[in-house]
Structure 1
Amino acid sequence: MPTFKNAKIFLGTDANHFASAMNITDGVVTHVGETDEVTDPDAIDLHGKTVLPGFVDAHTHPKYIADALHGVACTPPAVNSIAEMKTALKNSPAYGQGPSVWIEGWGFDESNLAEHRSPTIDDLDDVSTSQPIFIYRSDCHSSVGNSKALELAGIDANTPNPTGGVIGHFPDGRPNGYMKEVAATQLLIQAKSAQSYLADVDNMAKSSDHYLTNGIVAIGELMGRFRPYDSLQLYQDARTDGFKPKTAIYYVFNELMPGQVVKPTTQEDLRIAGIKVFMDGSISGETAYNKQPYPDGKSGVLLTNADRLKQAVWYASEHHLQVAIHAMGDAAIQLVIDVTADLTPWLDDRPSIRIEHASLLSDQMLKELNRARMNYALVTQPIFFFAEDESYRSYLNQAQFKNAYRIKSMLNSTAMLALSSDAPCTPWAEPDNPFVGIYAAVTRKAANQDVVNADEAITVPEAVLAYTNTGARVGGFTHNGQLRRGYAGDFVVLDQDIFTVPTDKIKDIQVEQTWMAGEKVYQKGD
């Protein structure tokens, strides 16, 4: 039953309320107040440090992160060319470990590479032809494999494109290794995962420290799958081996078998929360579905039409599930609004529909959201414009760019706003560092120091709330996101005061301690 005193405790109830002392009993906050009320001689003195509710990353991809943590970051500043990528892959601990060990990488964006193209099967075969190699593009929609990876996946010149994806080919018809969009990438992932379930469990368990170091106590797994194994089983086994963050799983709707029923569960630490629908691709990959075309004349890809979206929404309402809808382009978001705005919400504890990313929102679309009968959440990621400013400026016209990541407008809408990471799906070495996301939301500065729509900046407390209070409410983590009586004793102690440091220093803040259920689970320096 720890008691804490001499702290600056942000309660997470609103932008203004703080306390200096807190009691936690049986893992739950039982009292918040002031230090002069504390009589416990064993109270833990936090020496004026700032305390926040534990962060909630409502949209992330933990399985991919677990892979990435033992893989190679193919991102700036370390990797700026395909030649440097090859060198980095050869320096992977997996290199030379035998034909059953995959060499993995993540985060490349062809626009950031000196060659201004994606790596090919031939490039990766220069690294190894005996070990399979798999590299995620920055958006985690597309990927590249070497000849061994394609062989294990059964892909050759005659393999048909999966629905919603494209297998790349050289002009002579030979597969070039590029797997465009999720459906194609899954062909390689399934081959990789089918060989290494126990390794996947081990990687997932080991990734726990990554989250705790960043102060993340709860996560949304937005790529739940039943094949080649059930994601729920993966998390159950990983928890047995020490994985600590609370987890809500969203299964990919288009991967469900006919007649398959997904039922929500209510376990606090690990539960099934909803289904995931992909409307389109990514802006940096020129596959987000936009009203105005890209410079190449294309308007992106529509992965789910109106009829299929209606089926997904009906399925979710019938089974009391939340729908998380990936929609980056304005045409994709508009279609979501058109199909769902007049529907009656079926969930009362959280928004029935989450629009993930909501990257391009016009004034008219915001008005339609405000008038809608449906209860929406907007789950967006400032890390994207922070890390991918050049791509956005290259692929969007001026009017489109003005509508990019309108976080202040989202906050002022009737929809519930949550900030998240979509990690590791962006070309940045620390894609799910909450302080980078908060820095971008507050300063609107990209990594290259460009300012992106300065009038859409929000305040530090607003950004913190979007990573705690509303992040928890959107994700259904009903006992997280706030530090008040009855809520989980999950909190972080910071090495600097996020509310008073110069805003340019926010991205440099680090978590000093992470506590879950009143127990310290991370200490910086240990």
Structure 2
Amino acid sequence: MPTFINANIFLGLDTSSFATAMTVTNGQITWIGNTNTVSDPTAIDLRGQTVLPGLIDVHTHPKYIADALHGVACTPPNVNSIAEMKTALRQSPQFGKGKKVWIEGWGFDETKLAEHRTPTVNDLDDVSTTQPIFIYRSDCHSSVGNSKALELAGISRDTSDPKGGFIGHFADGRPNGYMKEVAASQLLIRAKSAQSFAGDVENMVASSDHYLANGIVAIGEMMGRKKPTDSFKLYQAAVEAGFKPKTAIYYVYDEVAEDKALQPTSEEQLRIAGIKVFMDGSISGETADNQVPYPNGQTGVAITNAAKLHQAVDYARQHHLQVAVHAMGDAAIQLVLNVTRELAPWLEDRPAIRIEHASILSDQMLHQINEATMTYALVTQPIFFFAEDESYRQYLSPAQFKLIYRDRSMLASKAAFALSSDAPCTPWAEPDSPFVNIYAAVTRKAANGDLVNPAESISVPEAVLAYTNWPAKIGGFKHNGTLQPGMAADFIVLDRNIFSIPAEGLKDVRVKETWLNGRKVFG
């Protein structure tokens, strides 16, 4: 029954509630108070260090993270050209390991590469033609593969585009390796995932320490799959082997639409929470569904129409699941609101519908959310404009740009609000750093120094709540998010006081210790 004293404990109840001491019993917080009332000589002295509730990344892609951690970061500041990408891939631990071993990378954004183009099959074949190579674009929607990867996926000049995806081709008709949007990337991913289940479990377990080092104790898996492996079974095996963060799985609707038996589960460590619906693509990939055309003359990709969204919502209602809707473009977001705002919510403990990203949000949309019968959550990622400012400036009109990542306006709406990473789906070497995300939300500064809609900034305590209390409520992590009696003793100790340092230092905050159920698991 450890007691902690002389701490700066942010309780996560509101923006101003702190304590200096707490007691943990059997994995739970049993007392919160002041150090001057503690007489226990064995109390642990935290010497003024700042303590937060364990952080929650309520929208991320742990399977992708697990793959990325043994892959190559093809992102700034490490990789800034296709030439540097080739060098980095040759330095991969997988390079030269044999014909069955995939070389993997992640995070490229063609607008940030010196060549200002997407790498092709020819570029990757310069690295290897005997080992398959797979690289995710920064948005994790699109990807590129070498000739061996295309061969294993059965992709030739005659392969038809999958619904909602596009296979790139050279002028002579040969596939150029670029797989645009999720449906096309899945062709390569399924070939890649045909490697051993045991290998996937091993990668997941190895990623556990990565989350704990970032202070993340609970996650929302936003790409639950039934094929080639059921995500729930993968996580079950990973948890048994030592994967520690609490996990809520959201299955891609297309893969469960015919599953009559899918139901939410309630285990604290691992549970099925909802379904995921893709409305569109990404802004940096010019595939988010927008009302105003991009410079290329197109308005993006509309993946899900109104009828199909209705079907998904009906499915979620019948199965008592939450709906997480990927919607980045303003046309996509408006369609979500048009279809759902007058419907009755079916969940009492959480918002029935989460709008993920909500990247371009107008005042009219916010008004519709405030007047809606439906209950909404807005889960957004300011780390996107931090890392992708150039793409947003290039692809959006000035009027659209003024509406991106409106954190202050979202927080003022009636929707529940949370920050998250969507990692590894952004071109930054630390795509799921909570503190880079908090820095972007508070300062509204991009990595290149650009100031992005500063009126939409939020305070540091609000940003911390958006990683603790608020995502716990949105994601159904009932025993997390606050430090008060009866809650899980999941907390982190920081290397500095995040509430008093200059804002420029926020992105440099690090976690010294992470505790789960009253036990130190990192630090």
TM-score by length of 2: 0.99
Per the TM alignment, residue 241 of structure 1 is displaced from its structure 2 partner at its CA by: 1.5
Residue equivalent to 2:427? 427
Unaligned runs of 5+ in 1: none
Question: What does residue range 398-437 of structure 1 map to in structure 2 within 5 Å?
Answer: 398-437=398-437
Q: Does 2:492 align with 1:492?
A: yes
Counterpart Cα distance in 1 of 2:453 and 2:430: 23
Residue aligned with 1:52, SS: strand
Counterpart Cα distance in 2 of 1:40 and 1:160: 70
Residue equivalent to 1:356? 356
Residue aligned with 1:436, SS: helix
Amino acid at match of 2:43: A
Per the TM alignment, residue 259 of structure 1 is displaced from its structure 2 partner at its CA by: 4.4
Identity %: 71
Per the TM alignment, residue 261 of structure 1 is displaced from its structure 2 partner at its CA by: 3.3
Counterpart Cα distance in 2 of 1:334 and 1:76: 33
Counterpart Cα distance in 2 of 1:55 and 1:429: 20
| 1:132-184 CA distance string (max 9 Å, x none) | 00000000000000111111111111111111111111111111110000011
Change (3 A) 1:405 1:257: closer
Per the TM alignment, residue 345 of structure 1 is displaced from its structure 2 partner at its CA by: 0.6
Amino acid at match of 1:472: A
Residue equivalent to 1:215? 215
| 1:423-481 CA distance string (max 9 Å, x none) | 00000000111000000000000000100000000000000000000011111101100
| 1:466-520 CA distance string (max 9 Å, x none) | 0000011111101100000111100000000000000000111100100000000
Counterpart Cα distance in 1 of 2:9 and 2:282: 38
| 1:315-364 CA distance string (max 9 Å, x none) | 00100000000000000000000000001110011100000000000011
Per the TM alignment, residue 37 of structure 1 is displaced from its structure 2 partner at its CA by: 1.6
Residue equivalent to 2:67? 67
Range moving further from structure 2, 499-508 or 236-245: 236-245
Amino acid at match of 1:382: P
Question: What does residue range 102-501 of structure 1 map to in structure 2 within 5 Å?
Answer: 102-256=102-256, 258-501=258-501
Counterpart Cα distance in 1 of 2:292 and 2:144: 28
May I ask how many residue pairs the two structures share in their alignment? 523
Residue aligned with 1:194, SS: coil
Amino acid at match of 1:312: A
| 1:385-443 CA distance string (max 9 Å, x none) | 00000000000001000000000000000000000000000000001110000000000
Counterpart Cα distance in 1 of 2:208 and 2:138: 22
Residue aligned with 2:466, SS: helix
Counterpart Cα distance in 2 of 1:65 and 1:229: 17
Counterpart Cα distance in 1 of 2:257 and 2:487: 38
Change (3 A) 1:44 1:456: same
Counterpart Cα distance in 1 of 2:77 and 2:258: 45
Residue aligned with 2:271, SS: strand
Residue aligned with 2:446, SS: coil
Counterpart Cα distance in 1 of 2:260 and 2:112: 42
Range moving further from structure 2, 237-246 or 270-279: 237-246
Residue aligned with 1:281, SS: coil
Per the TM alignment, residue 257 of structure 1 is displaced from its structure 2 partner at its CA by: 5.4
Per the TM alignment, residue 260 of structure 1 is displaced from its structure 2 partner at its CA by: 4.1
Per the TM alignment, residue 255 of structure 1 is displaced from its structure 2 partner at its CA by: 2.0
Amino acid at match of 1:120: T
Change (3 A) 1:120 1:260: farther
Counterpart Cα distance in 2 of 1:482 and 1:285: 37
| 1:29-63 CA distance string (max 9 Å, x none) | 11100011212221111000000000000000000
Counterpart Cα distance in 2 of 1:322 and 1:218: 17
Residue aligned with 1:207, SS: helix
Counterpart Cα distance in 2 of 1:470 and 1:444: 21
Per the TM alignment, residue 258 of structure 1 is displaced from its structure 2 partner at its CA by: 2.7
Per the TM alignment, residue 196 of structure 1 is displaced from its structure 2 partner at its CA by: 2.5
Counterpart Cα distance in 1 of 2:368 and 2:496: 40
Amino acid at match of 2:301: V
Counterpart Cα distance in 2 of 1:519 and 1:36: 24
Residue equivalent to 1:44? 44
Counterpart Cα distance in 1 of 2:194 and 2:391: 34
Per the TM alignment, residue 15 of structure 1 is displaced from its structure 2 partner at its CA by: 0.3
TM-score by length of 1: 0.99
Residue aligned with 1:400, SS: helix
Range moving further from structure 2, 164-173 or 444-453: 164-173
Amino acid at match of 1:306: A
Residue equivalent to 2:34? 34
Residue aligned with 2:193, SS: helix
Residue equivalent to 1:24? 24
Question: What's the RMSD between the two structures over aligned residues?
Answer: 0.7
Change (3 A) 1:225 1:441: same
Amino acid at match of 1:402: K
Counterpart Cα distance in 2 of 1:84 and 1:306: 43
| 1:4-34 CA distance string (max 9 Å, x none) | 1100000000001000001111111111000
Counterpart Cα distance in 1 of 2:258 and 2:50: 51
Counterpart Cα distance in 2 of 1:241 and 1:269: 13
